[in-house]
Chain A
Amino acid sequence: MTLSTTDGGPGSATAAVISAKAGRRKPLRLGGRKLTFDFVSFLLVFLILPLAIFLIFVIGPFAQAVYYAMTDWTGFSPDMKFVALDNFVRLFKDPTFLRAMGNNIILAVIVPLVTLTIALIFASMITIGGPSGGQVRGLKGSSFYRIVSFFPYVIPAIVIGILWSMIYTPSGLLNGLLGLIGIDTNNFAWLGDENTAMGASIFVIVWGMVGFYMVLFIAAIKGVPAETYEAARLDGAGRFRTTVSITLPLIRDNVQTAYIYIGIMALDAFVYMAALNPVRNPSTVVMSQYLYSTAFEKFQFGLASAMGVVLAVITLLFAAVVFVVNWATGGRKDGGRA
C-alpha cells in the first residue's frame, strides 16, 4: 500500500490496514533503552494503566462469564456447584430460549439485508444518480437528505424504542395518519398482534440505522475514481446495472464491514426490543432480553452466563459466515481496494 492512495486515510481501523501500515516503518524499539525513571513511569502510565483497566473490566468479566456458564450460581451464596455443560443442555431444551434464538437469527438475516440495500440505493442516488450527460454526479439538494437520514443514528436507542411504541399504539400516530388518507385500521395494535410485531420492530431498527450506513457508503463510493463510472456509462450501463456491476464490487469490503457491524447489533438488539416488546411475547423475544430477565429478575446467573456464551458464539459464527461469503463470491479475486 502506498501513501498516495485514498485507502487508509487517518483513522481507518481494521486489521488489514493496521498490519499493512505496521510494516511500513520500523517503530522505535523498547529494548536497548535506558530504564530511566522517565521511561519506566511513561510505560507504566501510558500502557499498563489503560491495559489494566481494560483487562479488569472487560476481558476479566468475559473470561469469568465462560466459567460461570458451567456452574449453577445464583449470586446470593458464594458457593457454586460446577455443572459442566448442564446449563447448555438445559438451554437447548428450553422452548423460550430456542424461540429467542430463532428470532435473533431472523433479525440478523433481515435487518442487515434491508438496511444495507436501502442505504446503498440512497447512497447511489445521492452520489451518482444525477443526469446521464456530462460529469458523473449526484442529485441536487442531496446534503439535505444526508443530514436528515443520519439524524436517527444520534438519538439514544431507548428513546427511539419508546417513541415508536407510542407511534404504534392503537391511538398513536401511525393509525392516525393512515386514517387521514382514508385507511381505517380499526385501532390496530401493531406491536400487540404477533403477525406484525416482528415486522414493526424490524422497521424501527432499520429506521434508526439506514442513515449511518448511507453515509458510510457515500464515502466509499466517492473513493471510486470518477473515470470508472464514466467508462461504464460509455459502455451503455444504466443506473441499476452500474450500481450492481460497478459500485457493489468496488466497495465490497465496506459492505462486508457494514454487514458485520449491523449484524452484531441485530444479534444484540436488546434496547430496541426491550423498549418495544415485553419479554413474555414469544414472537419477538430475543436472547439478550431473555438473558437479562434470567439474570436480574430470576437471579439464575449461571444459566444467564451460558446464554451469553451462546450469544457470543453465534456472533463469531455470523462474522465468520460474512467473511466466507465475501471470499467465496470473489472478494479477493479482483484485488479489492482495501
Chain B
Amino acid sequence: MSDDTRSMIAIDHSAMSKPAGVRTPKATNSDRVVETISHIILAVWSAIVILPMLWTLFSSFKSSAEIFTSPFGLPGSWNFDNYVSAWVKNNFGQMFLNTVIVVGASLILVMLLGAMCAYVLARFSVPGSRIIYYLMLAGLTFPVFLAIVPLFFVLKNIGLQGTLPGLIITYVAFALPFTVFFLFSFFKSLPYEIQEAAYVDGASEWRTFFQVMLPMAKPGLAAVAILNFLGLWNQFLLPVALNPSKDQWVLSQGMASFSAAAGYQVDYGALFAAVIITILPVLIVYILFQRQLQGSVSQGTSK
C-alpha cells in the first residue's frame, strides 16, 4: 500500500469520527438515558482499573504496619524507605540493571535479524519460503511450555544455560516469528522501483537494505519495537525456567520470589515499591507511545 492510500484512509477515519458540523442533532430522551448508562458502565470499569494502581502507589510509601492498619488512606508521610529497601536489600537495583541489559540487547538483535529476514522473505522468491512460513506460524502458535524442557538442555549443552547471553538469544529466537510476520507485509508494501533504482546506481545488497529499504520501513519498525519491548520486559516463563542464579535475575523473577514467599514475613512495603519499580518503565513507554501502540495493536493483529 502506498503512502497516498495510507493518508487517504487516515482522512477517512477522521472524517468519520468528527462530524462535519452540518447540523447539531438534538439528543432525544432515550439517547440521554443510554449515554448516561454507557458512561456509568465505562466509568465503573475505569475505576476497577485505576483503584488497584492507586492502592499500590499509596501502599508503596507506607510501612508494613500502616498497610494493614489504614489500607485506604493516604500514607502518613511520603518517604522512600520502601524503595530503598526494595532497590538495595531485595536486590531490585541489580535486577533492574539485568532486565535493561537483557531486554535492550535482545530488542536490538531481534529488530535487526527480524527486519533482515522479513526483507529477504518479502522481496526475493526464496525456495522453501512456504515451509519457513509454516515453521514461523508454529513458533507463534505452539505453547512455549512444550519447548521449555529441551531448551534448558540445548542451552546447557552449548554452555549458555544460566547466563545472560543465553537468555538474550532465547528472547531473540522466541520474538523472531512475530517480528518477521509483522514486518513481512510492511516490506512487501514498499515500492520495487526504489530497490531497482538502488541496484542500477550500483549499490550492493547490503547497502540497498541499510541505506534505502530499512529507513523506508521506519514506521513499521517503530510499531513492532514497542510491542516487542513490552513483551520482552514482561517475559516470565523463559527467565524463571532458564536463569536460576540469583545475581542474574530479571525483575519478573524478583516479583515471583515475593509471590513464592507470600505470607511468610513478606516486607509488604518493599513488595509494593518493587511493583512500582517494575511497572514504571512500561508505564513511561505506554504514556509516551500510547497512540502508536494502540495503532500497532490493531495493525499487527487484525485480520
Contact = CB atoms under 8 A, between A and B. Distances in A.
Contacts of A311: 143, 145-146
Interface in B18-75: 19-20, 22-28, 30-31, 34-35, 38-39, 41-43, 45-46, 48-53, 55-56, 68, 71-72
A159 B279 contact: yes
A257 B140 CA distance: 13
B9 A6 contact: yes
B116 A12 contact: no
A129 interface: yes
Nearest to B189: A10
Contacts of A10: 1, 6, 185-186, 189, 219-220, 299
A26 B139 CA distance: 27
Contacts of A13: 181-182, 184-185, 300-301
B35 A129 contact: yes
Given A275-B259, A301-B149, A216 B49 contact: no
Interface stretch (A82-90, A94-102, A162-170, A241-249): A162-170
Q: What DSSP secondary structure best describes chain B's contact surface?
A: helix
B286 A11 contact: no
B149 A21 contact: no
Contact of A53 (B48, B169, B184, B230): B169
A41 B205 CA distance: 9
Interface of A is mostly: helix
Contact of B27 (A59, A133, A267): A133
A146 B53 CA distance: 17
Contact of B172 (A53, A137, A177, A211): A53
B134 to A, nearest CB: 9
A125 B205 contact: no
B105 interface: no
Interface in A16-48: 16-18, 21-22, 25-30, 38-39, 41-43, 45-47
A132 interface: yes
Interface in B210-250: 219-220, 223-224, 230, 233-234, 236-237, 241
Rank and list the top 9 A-B pairs by shortest CB-CB distance, nearest first. A134-B25, A133-B25, A219-B298, A57-B173, A308-B146, A61-B147, A64-B150, A135-B19, A61-B150
23 contacts: A16-B303, A17-B185, A30-B127, A46-B116, A62-B146, A129-B34, A134-B23, A138-B17, A142-B42, A147-B290, A151-B286, A158-B252, A159-B255, A159-B275, A162-B259, A173-B72, A207-B48, A216-B301, A219-B295, A219-B297, A220-B302, A268-B143, A275-B259
Interface of A: 3-4, 6-18, 21-22, 25-30, 38-39, 41-43, 45-47, 49-51, 53-62, 64-65, 68, 75, 122, 125-126, 129-139, 141-142, 144-152, 154-159, 161-167, 171-173, 176-177, 180, 207, 210-212, 215-216, 218-220, 222, 226, 239, 253-254, 257-258, 261, 264, 267-268, 270-271, 274-275, 288, 291-292, 295-296, 301, 304-305, 307-309, 311-312, 315-316, 319, 337-338
Interface of B: 1-2, 5-6, 8-9, 12-13, 16-17, 19-20, 22-28, 30-31, 34-35, 38-39, 41-43, 45-46, 48-53, 55-56, 68, 71-72, 113-114, 116-117, 119-127, 132-133, 135-139, 141-151, 153-154, 169-170, 172-174, 176-177, 180-186, 188-189, 192, 195, 204-206, 209, 219-220, 223-224, 230, 233-234, 236-237, 241, 251-252, 255-256, 258-259, 262, 268, 271, 275, 278-279, 282-283, 285-286, 290, 293-303
